[in-house]
Amino acid sequence: MIATVADWLGAACLVAGALLSLAAGIGVLRFPDALSRMHAATKPQVLGVLLLLLGIALRLRSPADLGMILLVAVFQLSTAPVAAQMIARAAYRAGRLDRGLLDADELAERGADGGSAGPA
Amino acid sequence: MVGRGRVGRWRDQAVALGWLVLVWSLLWGNLTWANLVGGLLVGGAVLVFFPLPAVSFGGRLRPWALLVFVARFVVELVSASLHIARIAVQPGYRPRGAIVAVRLRVPTDLNLALTAEVVSLVPGTLILEVDRNSGTLYLHVLDTHGPADLDVARDRTLVVERRIVRAVGSSAELRHLDVTSSEKGTHL
């Protein structure tokens, strides 16, 4: 009984996660510049992966697999924002952004020689 | 003081080694003596060959605040994902953006890093640049419709910071947060 419920919940999580990952892919493709694309590459993508992992966990249900899945989730959560920041920062410094789409830019106000923070 | 600093550093290293051993065991999927010894060796090698600047944990864990933080984080991650997914598939929509600077009130490395990570995953914001000296985060805000949205993003970031400090910060940091926010007259 519980196994059936877990199987169905897992299946629902897998579908939801796949749909979110699809939306993330569409966002990366359709958004106008690199900075907005990074939004699509972090939020729906991370939640999509987490849902997929939850779906897998609900179907596998063995302690060894759960440990591995937990590890993947933690690394996903901690590395996705870092990767997105690195790409966004590189895009900004290389000037690959559409200024017509920006309402404000307080980073430019800091001044070009305001001392780069270095890898923080 | 020198002696205490050394003890603190050894403690930080030991904690890091403990985590690495745990990760190693999880990767192998079971806890055996071989994995434990292997994890100690690999973890020790990582700490020796890839030394990182010490990030000392000066605060303390508050379980209830941590729970609040995690719950809010999950809610915001889901709403952020749905929002981005919606504007991604909306036909003919070109979202506008803005870059704002937010100066954090607790400029420690740990708080800066945690806030930067979490802010990237909650609605509308993405980290672009970090100014470590002044404790300032530069955020890209997506889908803005006017100046009011910039203030919303700023307030939201400070709320995230407050939740993090409440969950893992030291009492001094928490007091500092209360003082600065009451001086500014903001009710976060």
φ, ψ (nearest 5 deg) of residue A30: -95, -25
Strands, sheet with B125-131, edge to edge from the N-terminal-most edge strand: A102-105, B97-103, B136-142, B125-131
Whether A27 has its CB under 8 Å from any CB of chain B: the answer is: yes
Catalogue all structural domains in chain B, each as residue range(s) with its CATH number.
2-49 (no CATH), 63-184 (3.30.70.920)
pLDDT score at A112: 47
- Closest by CA to A94, choosing from B121, B115, B128, B187, is B128
Closest approach of A3 to chain B, Cα-based (Å): 23
- Closest by CA to B161, choosing from B186, B144, B147, B149, is B186
Start-end of H helices in chain A: 2-30, 34-60, 63-93, 106-109
Are A35 and B142 in contact (CB < 8 Å)?
A: yes
Give me A70's structure tokens. 């937990």
Q: Which DSSP state fits A95?
A: T
- Closest by CA to B12, choosing from B62, B45, B57, is B57
φ, ψ (nearest 5 deg) of residue B12: -60, -45
Are A104 and B96 in contact (CB < 8 Å)?
A: no
Predicted-complex ipTM score: 0.78
Give me B86's structure tokens. 């919606």
- Within 10 angstroms of residue A63's Cβ, the number of other Cβ atoms is 10
Number of H helices, E strands in chain B: 6, 3
How many residue pairs from chains A and B have C-beta atoms closer than 8 A? 148
Q: Which residues of chain A have pLDDT under 70?
A: 110-120
Nearest to B128 among A30, A46, A88 (CB): A88
Query: Which residue, among A43, A46, A103, A107, would best test binding to B if mutated, counting the most B CBs under 10 Å from its CB?
Result: A43
Whether A119 has its CB under 8 Å from any CB of chain B: the answer is: no
pLDDT score at B188: 44
Q: What is the pLDDT along chain B (188 residues), one digit of tens a residue?
A: 344 567 777 877 888 888 888 888 888 877 788 888 888 998 888 888 887 766 666 667 788 888 988 898 889 888 888 888 888 888 888 888 888 888 888 878 788 888 888 888 777 788 888 888 888 888 888 888 878 888 888 888 888 888 888 888 777 778 877 776 655 544 44
